[in-house]
Structure 1
Amino acid sequence: MKQSITRRLTLALFLISLTSGWAQTSLQKASPTSKTLPGPDEQYGKLFEAVQLKSVFPDSKTFADCTPKFPAATILANYETAQKRSDFNLNAFVLQHFTLPIKPASGYTSKVGQSAQQHIVDLWPVLTRPATAHAKADVLAGSLIPLPNPYVVPGGRFGEIYYWDSYFTMQGLKASGKTLLIRNMVDNFAYLIRTFGFIPNGNRTYFLGRSQPPFFSLMVNLLTEVQGRRILLNYLPQLQQEYDFWMDGKDRLTTQQPTHRRVVRLAENVYLNRYYDDKQTPRPESYREDVLLARRAKDPQLLYQHIRAGAESGWDFSSRWFRDRKNLKTIHTTDFIPVDLNSLLVNLEQTLADGYRLKGDQVQSKRYLKLAQQRREALLRYCWDAKRAFFFDYDFVAKKPASVYSLAAVYPLFVRIATTGQAVAVAQKLEQSFLKPGGLTTTLVRTGEQWDAPNGWAPLQWLAIQGLRNYNQLPLANKVKTNWVNENLRVYKASGKMVEKYDVISTAGAKGGEYPNQDGFGWTNGVLLKLLTER
């Protein structure tokens, strides 16, 4: 009898894995891979394509986030039959077979006269999602990957956790004394690393081809500030695993084959990294936009990969990645050695060195200190332009620095790897060209893309302020802080909202990108609260 029940349970879980892509009764024990968690584009094929290309929803992300009411096989069979009827209505079919995603901040209204600081504190529970440690056998979860601990989402259209966003959200959580929530989020990221081998862009199945800027080591370091340095040892295996993900393929690189996935060989014993994505298909959450753009491309698959790599960078999209500095169709992200990515990887190597030192493994500690020093030297060699006195991404295919000035240049200051002279020069350029009435503009180029002028973003303001402070550029750091805080407060007073990004030049409301400006908003809240409460 017991054996029969076990067989039936095993069969039930197997069938659910085929239909929903998620069949684990306990996430703590689960070890799925991207192959067992197909994205909605892979699950629904022609139906997914039809819904996206016929614009059933104004935002492509809506259908990617829908929850199926029935197994995928049933939905596809019904679609095959229904579309043959003369009265077939695709919109009605979708609503019959899927549940639409609920907006994260639904039902929340800011209180009249409430301070921005209290508004942010009140938003934490609104933006917090509960743990989903046990997936019920009769629940089809759609594209959302359950997580074992509570977590904070950005808000607006973003109803899942995002990798690099979370570090800046954590700044505000720390200011609010929410150490447990920070720990829960760090534990969720550690879980994702154990489960998938890396931290995906967000906890959606359609993000399993890419990561985001590797801030995990900085999150762990932030946690050690409130729970003690030895907490680092708890996460040492996952820090190592994330590093292995970024460096995958390093040992097989040669002069003839200088790249593999995210690692690039620039010279003998000189290795740096790039953004990448393992897939060459349209992004499910921006399917229609990608397909329409690719119709004008000579190599659509390569274009999709560059677009996805741009999404992994978090700067989706920016003239940083454009060959002509103007048009998305010229994107070639994977040709660049990004200054921000490699600065973060120096920090990861240094954190690994510290972790192994705490563990008592001096051999590994010295190894990672050496790797960090080698990367720092290589970054300064390839990404510092002495003539322009600024940090730039390096185009390793064209073998020259990029031409676009961007706030990615503040990363070497933030992780303290720039020389004093370089930091002073960067500060001068920031004050001369980037500093605007509302804060720092992301680039000096106007393209209509959201990660270009005139937009400013909370994470880049924080990185710049902290980077400038690291090199005693305090007057400029204070100017950036004042301008940014005042713009945030001005918009909040006028609208009762914290938004995703700001027009820092005309302060008329941020524009550009694939979707409207979102309110909520995780990293804006985190950075502003930290700046308002710091001494």
Structure 2
Amino acid sequence: MASFHSRSSNSNGNHPASSFSLLLLFLLLASASVSASETVPKAMSQPATGNFDGGPVVPTTPLVTFLERVQEIALATFGKKDFDPKLYVDLSLKSGLSTTVTAFHKLPRNASESVSAPDFKEFLHEYFDGAGDDLVYAEPPDFVPEPDGFLPKVKNPQVRAWALEVHALWKNLSRRVSGSVLDRLEFHTLLLLPGPIVIPSSRFREVYYWDSYWVISQPPILSAMVYDIYNRTGDFDFVKKALPALLKEHQFWNSRIHKVNVQDDQGGNHTLSRYYAMWNKPRPESSTIDKAHSSKLLNASDKENTSDFTTLAITSILPIDLNIFILKMELDIASMAQIVGDNRTAESFLKTAQARKQAINSVFWNEEKGQWLDYWISNGTSSQECRRWKASNQNNNAFASNFVPIWIDLFNSDTCIVEKVRKGFQSSGLLGAAGIATSLTRSGEQCNYVAYKETGAMHEKYDVEKCRDIGGGGEYIPQTGFSWSNGAVLAFLEEFGWPEDLKIGCNWVMHCGDEL
């Protein structure tokens, strides 16, 4: 299993401290299989404009509903300290559901509905297998300790040794679904997958769609995965097979409920996209947490989002990062449609991409700050109604996601814009001594060689203000493993390398006054 690599930047720079593109790539980090027919259907030759909202969401299974109840009793029994609700929906049954439910209802409870810890632990042991037991280790057949051509730009021996250790972590994180899941699907909440997978960590013990790209980031980047695979393999048939799925994903993100119309101050009308999940129930893996936050957050839509939890009502925002991902999708689809000879679709998606680029600059761009700012909208307005653009609706807070447009050629090829963004980023306050912050809020949420050397692990979160410190915050204990950190480090080293004479450690840090 060769290390993942990125094509996100056109920079040829070799010195990590002097590359503005390297810094901006960090911003992308802070911040279900789809079946496809073999040919591109003619009916899908146009970008989506119709209603893709569908009917009501299919309710969760009886097993998931029951495990949410187990989760609630576990919280009442064990208390909030270090409580992780996901553990309980990852449990698999030893006996049938009806037998287990009957035993659950027979547990003696006190007035607060909690069960004594010994009784509850005995119940869990008798009726459930452990969380994660439905996955087993899978030896990656194509893994080699040092792939041919591995990180040719990395000249520093210490950095190279570290990179090889990080590369070896892919092997440690390789899994396959146990045969027991196939034998009794109704005993498990894990979806059956036919092949081996790479999991992010011990807690995230399943494969996520968005983790497949560098084992990092979040949707919608399926088109970027397909396009990168094609550029590495030249597999025409793969593109032909994947294109219908990409068209379907584009249709989803441009459906009626996700689509928002805005009229700019010059009278131009624009269509952009927002997060809006068709689900108003708690997430099963975090049911207890979501119920506590239900009056503040629309959590299902929040988890479509690319960032960790904030206090934002996500459906009331037009996010710049989402619209850049969709713009990239439109450009990718246009390119791949041309590859398979579907010129009609290619031309149509190029026009759609140009329209979205204009919308992005009209609605999100802030000339004074040199950033693209998220835009507040009112949830009381119909999704079909055209909203008038107001400067006061731009979110003036500094977020790493404000700089995501530089990721794609339509923006990073404009030297004038790049210079404005460079100055805007340098004055944003996001650049810390040990990395780039997600925002200026000190939440403890959201790569660090020194932390790896001191802990022996790659971490999910890092403290960008203090070299060698790991991060905290969020809904669970910060994880090690950690696939998206591993993929990011290897992608940066592949793209930018590391000179032999440049030391690595806390003696090399960026400061807010340093020249980018």
Decide: shared fold, TM above 0.5: yes
Counterparts in 2 of 1:115 and 1:40: CA distance versus 1, 3 Å: farther
Please identify, of 143-152 and 334-343, the stretch whose mean Cα deviation from structure 2 is larger.
143-152
Are 1:490 and 2:455 matched, yes or no?
A: no
RMSD: 3.2
Give the partner amino acid of 1:511. Answer: G
Going from structure 1 to structure 2, the CA distance change for 1:133 and 1:349 (only over 3 Å counts) comes to farther
For residue 440 of structure 2, give the secondary structure of its aligned residue in structure 1. Answer: coil
**Residue 348 to residue 39, structure 1, CA distance change in 2 (3 Å):** farther
Match of 1:372 in 2: 353
Aligned residues: 394
User: What is the correspondence of 1:145-160 to structure 2 with a 5 Å cutoff?
Assistant: 145-160=191-206
Cα distance, 1:356–1:67 mapped onto 2, change above 3 Å: same
Question: Which letter maps to 1:431?
Answer: Q
Corresponding residue number in structure 1 for 2:490: 529
Q: Does 1:49 align with 2:72?
A: yes
What are the residue-to-residue correspondences of 1:372-451 with 2, within 5 Å? 372-397=353-378, 400-418=393-411, 419-432=414-427, 433-446=429-442, 448=443, 450=445
> Paired residue for 1:184?
none
Q: Distance in 1 between matches of 2:213 and 2:62?
A: 26
1:79 aligns with 2:100: no
Instruction: Report Cα offsets for 1:114-160 as digits up to 9, x if no partner.
Output: 93222222211211122679952435452211222222111131111
Query: Among 50, 58, 68, which residue is 2:83 paired with?
Result: 58
Alignment partners' CA distance in 1, 2:127 and 2:334 = 51
Q: CA contact under 8 A between 1:69 and 1:140: conserved in structure 2?
A: no
Secondary structure, counterpart of 2:278 in structure 1: coil
SS in 2 for 1:169: coil
| Alpha carbons of structure 1 residues 105 and 71: separation in structure 2 relative to 1, 3 Å | closer
1:230-309 residue pairs with structure 2 within 5 A? 230=236, 231-249=238-256, 260=257, 262-267=258-263, 270-294=270-294, 300=295, 303-305=296-298, 307-309=299-301
The letter for the 1-side match of 2:170 is W
Deviations 1:50-85 (A, max 9, x none): 234444782111102111222323322222234479
The one-letter code sitting in structure 2 at the alignment partner of 1:155 is S
1:425 to 1:229, Cα distance in 2 relative to 1, 3 A: farther
- Establish whether residue 225 from structure 1 lines up as the match of residue 186 from structure 2: no
Whether the aligned pair in 2 keeps the contact of 1:52 and 1:287 (CA below 8 Å) is: no
Distance 1:47 1:28, change over 3 A: farther
Q: Does 1:502 align with 2:462?
A: yes
- Listed one character per residue, the Cα deviations across residues 344-382 of structure 1 (whole Å, up to 9, x for unaligned) are 101111121122222222222111111111111111111
Q: Hey, what's the Cα distance between the residues in 2 that align with 1:365 and 1:84?
A: 63
Cα distance in 2 for residues equivalent to 1:83 and 1:242: 48
Aligned to 2:326: 345
Contact 2:210 2:219 survives alignment (8 Å): yes
Per-residue CA distance 1:318-367 (angstroms, 9 max, x = gap) = 3xxx3xxxxxxxx3111111111100101111121122222222222111
Contact 1:40-1:48 at 8 Å conserved across structures? no
The SS at the match of 2:271 is strand
The change in CA–CA distance for 1:425 and 1:341 in structure 2 (over 3 A counts) is: same
Matches within 5 A, 1:172-191: none
Contact 2:223/2:329 (CA < 8 Å) preserved in 1? Answer: yes
Aligned pair in 2 of structure 1 residues 121, 47: CA closer, same or farther (>3 Å)? closer
Q: Specify the alignment match of 2:184 in structure 1.
A: 138
Task: Give the secondary-structure state (helix, strand or coil) at the position aligned to 2:260.
Answer: strand
Identity between Structure 1 and Structure 2 (%):
27
- The aligned counterpart of 1:182 is none
Name the amino acid aligned to 1:361: D
Tell whether the 8 Å contact from 2:371 to 2:421 is kept in structure 1 after alignment.
yes
Q: Whose RCO is larger (CA < 8 A, sep 6+)?
A: 2
Matches of 1:55 and 1:39 in 2, distance apart? 24
Q: Measured at CA, do residues 426 and 163 of structure 1 come closer, stay the same or move farther in structure 2, by a change above 3 Å?
A: farther
Distance in 1 separating the partners of 2:136 and 2:456:
13
**Runs of 5+ unmatched residues, structure 1:** 1-26, 107-112, 171-200, 202-211, 250-259, 295-299, 323-330, 456-483
Q: State the one-letter code of the partner of 1:408.
A: S
Shift of 1:42: 2.4
Q: Secondary structure at the match of 1:366?
A: helix
C-alpha displacement of 1:519:
0.7
Shift of 1:449: 5.1
Contact 2:261–2:270 at 8 Å: present in 1 too?
A: yes
Would the alpha carbon gap of residues 289 and 378 (structure 1) be closer, same or farther in structure 2, given more than 3 Å must change?
A: same
Match of 2:50 in 1: none
Distance 1:235 1:132, change over 3 A: farther
Q: CA–CA distance in 2 between the matches of 1:228 and 1:131? A: 30
> How many angstroms apart in 2 are the aligned matches of 1:314 and 1:246?
14
CA gap of 1:53–1:134, structure 2 versus 1, over 3 A, is: closer
Query: CA offsets per residue over residues 202-251 of structure 1, 9 Å max, x none?
Result: xxxxxxxxxx42111111111112111634223101111111221222xx
> In 1, Cα distance between the equivalents of 2:186 and 2:220?
31
Q: Which amino acid aligns with 1:242?
A: E
Pair 1:215-2:229 in alignment: no
Q: Is the 8 A contact 2:136 2:178 kept in 1?
A: no
1:519 aligns with 2:515: no
- TM-score under structure 2 normalisation? 0.69
User: Are the counterparts in 2 of residues 280 and 304 from structure 1 also a CA contact under 8 Å?
Assistant: no
- What do the CA deviations read for 1:164-184 (whole angstroms, capped 9, x no partner)? 2331238xxxxxxxxxxxxxx
Shift of 1:420: 3.5
